[in-house]
């Protein structure tokens, strides 16, 4: 993890969240019709999300924990989930007059509560006791856990909320309490999202994201079937940053989430996420990123050049990028002209050509000539990727900067890791004191890197992923800083996901080869990359050839 002394923003303790529960009551518009969910509008005077359309719910209290004896439960339903389900049942009754309960005995045993039962209960009196007195048991066994949300760390009032789902009881109609909730409405998730986009249906971030995921399901049965394992489909505590000067929110898995976790770990809404090439972006006190103005299909927002260090230690420049004079001058100025080393992760033309001009810029300013470091390009490299460093780096070599800082003497150490795969001379760097991995093109954010034989090799690439995973575990690396895209968090999880994706793609390539044994790579790519836009197939075909090469070298029985 990064040293706290390197964080850009003062540490602060987020407010402890209060525990609550909410329930998505579901129905199908008609037999075989679209999925609908019940939503209501919160009071404009509410302390949390005033005026927003939400799902019914509220705080969990001690009475909900004490109501276990009067609730039906599934054998696999934990005590915690049972309490949450009871709270959701109570809140849906108090706010909307919907009663998820069934008769415990008598001629109506097992039947769900009806309008007569609902009319006999007082929304303002103790709930579980009233149900028990009327011979009703709470149908907590019909309430399932969909997701768990914890409110953003920046909020002055936060909730930790399981989002539960249940089928709407037949014969019941929602009636809002007209105090906390108003205007109950049944709505298709896609329609609610469209109305929100049109400014007609205000919703907060967790509601929006929940509806986006709910929209993937065809009907209520499909939702409930997905929840039989008693685990939430997702768990999230969103983070917020600035885009176009406006506050924007992201959940885990969104491209900017890791960068916000690195720069604003305690939830400060202070980090701009706009891609630009005019000025460096501080990520830590000792790490800056300047993105080259070479955005495109293959480079995304552009090549990320990084500066590691601070005025008291000098700087190491990683991946100076293309030979763009304006970009290089901005990089040089961001380092105050004090660049001690220039490291190229590999020799591709969007990474290394700027090294020599940047070195010359330092010399002209009267500074010591910083060496250009990296690995020389292999004979398999394309003509545009020829590269010869001043000195070849060794695997596991340490590059250190040492100097004075406010807190005393400080050191920044980069460990070199040879990671062939994307290119034969590719390397990554680990900033050991702060647990950061500079991944070059080996790991990207938002896309997978191209493996282009003969210089690219899929077997080497996968082996390099395993090596990086082991080093991330050894050095407690939490964040990956790629050459294209935002910072990634959960480094080992990202590596595991990337490897699984590559192997899944390889399985599709093998299936295409088996289905079309006389096919061409063009035939195979149409099958193995059918989920990729056809305009990208020529690029995808290069990685397909790398998979084919690896498949043909595997022992019999392993493919």
H helices present in 289-400, as ranges: 325-334, 355-364
- 131 and 153 in a single domain? The answer is yes
Per the CB < 8 A criterion, the answer to whether 492 and 435 are in contact is no
Does the pLDDT at position 253 exceed 70? yes
Query: Do the strands 339-343 and 372-374 form a parallel or antiparallel pair, or are they unpaired?
Result: parallel
- 135 and 201 in a single domain? The answer is yes
Q: Which of 175, 205, 237 is the last residue of a domain?
A: 237
- 364 and 446 in a single domain? The answer is yes
- 395 and 526 in a single domain? The answer is no
Residue 5 burial (CB < 10 Å; 0-12/13-18/19+)?
Answer: middle
Task: Give a yes or no: residue 263 inside a domain.
Answer: no
- 445 and 409 in a single domain? The answer is yes
The CATH number assigned to the domain holding 383 equals 3.60.15.10
The string of pLDDT tens digits covering residues 154-211 is 999 899 999 999 999 999 999 988 887 888 999 999 999 999 999 999 999 999 999 9
pLDDT for position 46: 75
- 26 and 98 in a single domain? The answer is yes
The residue behind tokens 């506050």 is 247
The string of pLDDT tens digits covering residues 287-328 is 999 999 999 999 999 999 999 999 999 999 999 999 999 999
Query: How large is the angle between the packed helices 458-475 and 491-515, nearest 10 degrees?
Result: 160
Per the CB < 8 A criterion, the answer to whether 357 and 323 are in contact is yes
Question: Quick check: bond before 533 cis, omega within 30?
Answer: no
- 351 and 437 in a single domain? The answer is yes
The string of pLDDT tens digits covering residues 48-98 is 778 899 999 999 999 999 999 999 999 999 999 999 999 999 999 999 999
Domain span at 154? 18-237
**Who has greater pLDDT, 235 or 384?**
235
- 189 and 295 in a single domain? The answer is no
Task: Give a yes or no: residue 254 inside a domain.
Answer: no
**Who has greater pLDDT, 446 or 400?**
400
Confidence of residue 558 (pLDDT cuts 50, 70, 90): low
Tokens of 22: 């909410």
- 508 and 473 in a single domain? The answer is no
Q: What is the DSSP letter of 557?
A: T
Residue 198 burial (CB < 10 Å; 0-12/13-18/19+)?
Answer: exposed
> Domains in the chain: how many in total?
3
Task: Give a yes or no: residue 257 inside a domain.
Answer: no
Task: Give a yes or no: residue 4 inside a domain.
Answer: no
- 467 and 510 in a single domain? The answer is no
The string of pLDDT tens digits covering residues 92-123 is 999 999 999 999 988 889 899 999 999 999 99
Task: Give a yes or no: residue 5 inside a domain.
Answer: no
Tokens of 471: 């080093």
pLDDT for position 497: 96
pLDDT for position 32: 72
The CATH number assigned to the domain holding 30 equals 3.90.79.10
- 413 and 284 in a single domain? The answer is yes
- 477 and 540 in a single domain? The answer is no
How many CB atoms are located within 10 Å of the residue 369 CB?
11
Q: How far apart are CA 422 and CA 378, in angstroms?
A: 12
The string of pLDDT tens digits covering residues 507-534 is 999 999 999 999 999 999 999 999 999 9
Show the beta-strand stretches assigned E in 128-211. Answer: 136-138, 144-150, 159-167, 181-187
Closest of 290, 378, 296 to residue 334, by C-alpha: 290
Task: Give a yes or no: residue 302 inside a domain.
Answer: yes
Q: Which of 237, 260, 288 is the last residue of a domain?
A: 237
Does the pLDDT at position 470 exceed 90? yes
Task: Give a yes or no: residue 556 inside a domain.
Answer: no
pLDDT for position 405: 79
Does the pLDDT at position 407 exceed 80? no
Task: Give a yes or no: residue 272 inside a domain.
Answer: no
What percentage of the chain carries pLDDT values higher than 90? Answer: 90
């Amino acid at each position: 993890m990064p040293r706290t002394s390197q964080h850009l923003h003062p540490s602060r303790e987020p407010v402890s969240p209060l525990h609550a529960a909410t329930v998505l009551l579901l129905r199908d518009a008609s037999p075989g019709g679209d999925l609908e969910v019940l939503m209501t509008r919160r009071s404009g005077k509410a302390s949390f999300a005033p005026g927003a359309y939400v799902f019914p719910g509220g705080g969990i209290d001690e009475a909900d924990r004490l109501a276990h004896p009067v609730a039906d439960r599934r054998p696999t339903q934990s005590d915690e989930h049972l309490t949450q389900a009871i709270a959701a049942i109570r809140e849906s009754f108090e706010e909307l007059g919907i009663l998820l309960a069934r008769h415990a005995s008598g001629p109506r045993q097992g039947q769900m509560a009806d309008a007569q039962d609902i009319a006999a209960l007082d929304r303002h009196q103790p709930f579980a006791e009233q149900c028990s007195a009327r011979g009703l048991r709470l149908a907590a066994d019909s309430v399932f856990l969909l997701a768990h949300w914890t409110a953003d760390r920046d909020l002055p009032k936060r909730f930790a909320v399981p989002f539960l789902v249940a089928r709407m009881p037949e014969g019941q109609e929602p009636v809002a309490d007209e105090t906390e909730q108003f205007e109950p409405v049944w709505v298709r998730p896609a329609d609610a999202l469209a109305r929100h986009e049109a400014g007609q249906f205000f919703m907060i971030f967790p509601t929006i994201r929940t509806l986006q995921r709910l929209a993937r399901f065809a009907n209520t049965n499909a939702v409930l079937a997905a929840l039989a394992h008693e685990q939430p489909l997702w768990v999230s505590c969103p983070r917020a940053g600035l885009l176009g000067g406006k506050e924007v929110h992201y959940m885990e898995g969104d491209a900017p989430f890791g960068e916000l976790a690195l720069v604003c770990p305690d939830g400060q809404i202070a980090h701009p996420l706009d891609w630009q090439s005019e000025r460096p972006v501080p990520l830590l006190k000792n790490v800056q990123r300047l993105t080259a103005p070479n955005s495109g299909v293959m480079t995304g927002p552009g090549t990320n050049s990084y500066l590691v260090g601070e005025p008291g230690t000098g700087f190491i420049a990683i991946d100076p990028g293309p030979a763009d004079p304006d970009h290089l001058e901005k990089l040089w100025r961001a380092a105050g002209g004090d660049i001690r080393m220039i490291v190229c992760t590999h020799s591709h033309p969007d990474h290394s050509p700027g090294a020599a001009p940047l070195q010359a810029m330092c010399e002209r300013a009267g500074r010591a000539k910083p060496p250009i470091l990296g690995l020389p390009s292999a004979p398999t490299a394309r003509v545009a990727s020829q590269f010869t460093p001043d000195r070849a780096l060794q695997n596991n070599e340490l590059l250190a900067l040492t100097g004075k800082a406010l807190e005393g003497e400080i050191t920044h150490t980069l460990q070199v890791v040879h990671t062939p795969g994307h290119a034969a001379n590719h390397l990554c760097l680990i900033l050991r004191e702060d647990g950061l991995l500079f991944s070059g093109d080996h790991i990207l954010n938002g896309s997978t890197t191209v493996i282009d034989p003969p210089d690219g090799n899929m077997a080497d690439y996968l082996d390099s992923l395993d090596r990086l995973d082991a080093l991330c575990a050894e050095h407690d690396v939490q964040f990956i800083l790629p050459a294209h895209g935002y910072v990634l968090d959960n480094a080992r999880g990202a590596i595991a996901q990337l490897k699984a994706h590559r192997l899944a793609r390889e399985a599709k390539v093998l299936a295409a080869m088996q289905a079309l044994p006389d096919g061409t790579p063009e035939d195979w790519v149409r099958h193995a990359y059918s989920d990729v836009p056809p305009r990208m197939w020529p690029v995808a075909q290069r990685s397909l050839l790398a998979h084919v090469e690896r498949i043909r070298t595997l022992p019999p029985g392993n493919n």
